[in-house]
Amino acid sequence: MTYQTMLSLLGQGFLTTLAIFLLTLLGSLPLGLGITFCRSSKFKPLQWLTKFYISIMRGTPLMLQLIVVFFCPNLLFGIVPPTNWRFIAVILAFVINYAAYFAEIYRGGIESIPVGQYEAAEVLGYSKTQTFCKIILPQMVKRVLPSVTNEVITLVKDTSLAYAIGMVEMFTRAKQIAVAPNSPGIVTLFVAGLFYYIFNFIVAWAMERIEKRLSYYE
């Protein structure tokens, strides 16, 4: 196997890794905010159910959650999943897992806002929605960004767990190439590690730029 072929195959795996990463963020970031509202609800059953959900997501391995999401429809309900179910299951498992973590990060950011700001907004005639969107949310985003960045970087590395249900992303592709006859061997794993490092470097750089742009909220 030539190095050009190796890089081509790793590139295909990287596209799958990138798709998992982007779709997980698109789903989990807004879902996490919705879960935060449920977690802070005055309706106790909803609050308890949300706490239980967060506890399960944070207290069990992501790999186990991937396996449960992938096999449950058929084992519990007898549903025959579609042909692309493997990829859908990966996205669903990642989204519901990361949404739980983001929800707790958001909650911590919201609760760190002084109560006086809510009172001042009420005096000025702001509705609850206006208070949250115009006053609380911008400050919360700035405060939680470092924690969100850590989770996003972790997500880049966690995408490799998709192999648990047979999803061929970049790391799985690297392992397949490494054990193939006439392959570059350990060099393949080194190149895959370099892919991850560069990807994480770009993500960290982008998040740092966003944080600097929001620094005026200090």
Q: What is the structure's pLDDT at 41? A: 85
Give pLDDT tens digits for 143-189: 899 899 999 999 999 999 998 898 888 888 888 888 877 777 788 88
Q: What pTM was computed for the model?
A: 0.89
- 134 vs 118: CA distance, rounded Å: 11
- 133 vs 126: CA distance, rounded Å: 10
Give pLDDT tens digits for 69-118: 999 887 877 777 788 899 999 999 999 999 999 999 999 988 888 888 88
The domains found in the chain, sorted by start residue, are 3-217 (1.10.3720.10)
